Amino acid sequence: MQIVSGGVTNVGRVRANNEDCFRIVEPLNLFVLSDGMGGEAHGEIASALAVETIVKHCMAPAAPEDKDDTVVFGDMPAAWSEKTRRLSNAVHLANKAIHESAEKNPEQHGMGATVTAIWVDDAKLSLAHVGDSRAYLLRSGSLQQLTNDHSLVAEQVRRGILTPAEAERSALFGRDVLLLCSDGLTRMVTEPEIAGTLQSEPDPAKAAEKLVNLANEQGGADNITVVVARVDMESKGWFSWLRRGTRKESAANGSAGGK
């Protein structure tokens, strides 16, 4: 299985700064998006901290003996895969990092962030989600929302009591398209418009750019961040090696916000 991906972030037409942040780690098929909250309380710091913490933890070698791992992993179902456990733990650690940073810096009191993260392992998808940033799956022309919006996210982040909604979904298929987006997209663009754009534009980076442009054309009331990942089932044989050689490999080919 190959996954071709691209992402775009934009400040929009109303906001003065961009509090969104995203990261694509192609070698791991890891996709993380965060929408910061807090305005003058530095929401852009919260989103960058969330993404940085999640990516760092997922890229690090597994360490079951680690104190933080033990505490968080204790409440996880035994049936969860190692990647789902690590992704869930990463979200908990991101929440802890944001909470501690806000406690140490009075000007950051009230900051928070949403998180939507997807980690694909062969045909299995691990998903961790907090807030109203969304993940979608486009399959055979049908757009399915994989996440449920959470309310009062900023208060939960501030108090450090978040419990992420995790899920494992198996059997991704060729031509499936995964979409991660902040609410700057979903507030401006309807789901039929999103589905139509993803269907009409096969290039993930161009599809992300078109969706951002569409959100701006229809008001751009918030920061807009879009990550698109298209599943391409590899065929066996010499032709698959030729195709693989044309891919652009990058450990971090997209990030924005909190700089």
pLDDT at 156: 52
User: Band of the pLDDT at 38, cuts 50, 70, 90?
Assistant: confident
CATH for the stretch 2-245: 3.60.40.10
Could you give the strand order of the β-sheet that contains 224-232, starting from the edge strand earlier in sequence? 2-10, 224-232, 177-181, 134-139, 142-145
pLDDT at 165: 52
Per-residue model confidence as pLDDT tens digits over 176-229 = 999 999 999 999 999 999 999 999 999 999 999 999 999 999 999 999 999 999
pLDDT at 79: 81
Which one of 33-47, 167-181, 188-202 scores highest in mean pLDDT? 188-202
Confidence check: pLDDT of 143 > 90:
yes
Average pLDDT, integer, range 54-82: 72
pLDDT at 64: 56
Confidence check: pLDDT of 161 > 70:
no
| Percent of all residues in the chain with a pLDDT value above 70, rounded to a whole number | 76
Mean of the per-residue pLDDT values of the chain: 84
Rg (CA), the chain: 18
The secondary structure of 70-103 as a DSSP string is HHHHTTS-TTS-HHHHHHHHHHHHHHHHHHHHHH
**pLDDT: which is higher, 97 or 166:** 97
pLDDT at 212: 98
pLDDT at 208: 98
Average pLDDT, integer, range 20-30: 97
Confidence check: pLDDT of 26 > 70:
yes
Q: Which residues contact 220 (CB under 8 A, 6 or more apart)?
A: 10, 12, 13, 14, 184, 188
User: What residue ranges do the domains of the chain occupy?
Assistant: 2-245
pLDDT at 171: 85
The answer to whether the pTM exceeds 0.75 is yes
Average pLDDT, integer, range 112-132: 94
pLDDT at 242: 43
For the chain, the straight-line distance linking the first and the last C-alpha, in angstroms and rounded, comes to 33
Confidence check: pLDDT of 258 > 60:
no
User: Band of the pLDDT at 1, cuts 50, 70, 90?
Assistant: confident
pLDDT at 40: 74
Residue with tokens 């949403």: 114
